[in-house]
Structure 1
Amino acid sequence: MTIIRIVRMTFLPEKTSEFQRIFEQCKNDIRSMPGCLHLELWRDVDDPNIFVTHSHWESVETLDNYRRTEFFGLIWKKTKILFADAPMAFSVEKVS
């Protein structure tokens, strides 16, 4: 079962460029993680400080394995200090 992971993040206005730099540096590494099938970065059209990552994973286990990696820990540490608000994350599966 493919899992779709959505993470909505609101950044401090002066930190959006830094986040985009971090994402550009690590996106190919994330895409090459075992179980990662797809990764995109979206930006809210009404609020340029809000970004959303949209990724597809082979399973809950492959997503969880990625989230336990040292690589993820380093990226998350760099990213979370840029937030203006708590992120919202959820995983879903396609029904129809």
Structure 2
Amino acid sequence: MTFKKEETDNFLKVFNYSKQQIRAFPGCRHLELHQDYNKDHIYVTYSIWDNEDALNAYRQSELFESVWAKTKALFADKPVAFSHKQVLTVNG
């Protein structure tokens, strides 16, 4: 997600306010926020869900609508989303 540079603090406030609610949503196993090394106004959320139905239930929830409404107002560019499944774990 690419934010207007002056809005990154507001995005972090939205994320920090809602992260525990998202993590507690049925089917959410994990949630992380990553920031680009070189462009500090670009962020990626990484989440793990039990399955696609759980993710879609979140996307259709009041919680998502509320968080998304606050977040999308802060964008400098169209967001990109990917849904994928894990096929291999590499340790060490």
TM-score (norm 1): 0.90
Structure 2 residue ranges without an equivalent (≥5): none
Identity of aligned residues (%): 47
Higher relative CO (CA 8 A, sep ≥ 6), structure 1 or 2? 1
Alignment of 1:36-75 (within 5 A): 36-75=28-67
The Cα RMSD (Å) is: 0.4
Corresponding residue pairs, total: 88
Structure 1 residue ranges without an equivalent (≥5): 1-8
Structure showing greater radius of gyration is 2
* Structure 1 outlier segments of 4+, above 2 Å: none
Q: Which residue is 1:82 aligned to?
A: 74
Q: Which has the higher strand share?
A: 1
TM-score (norm 2): 0.94
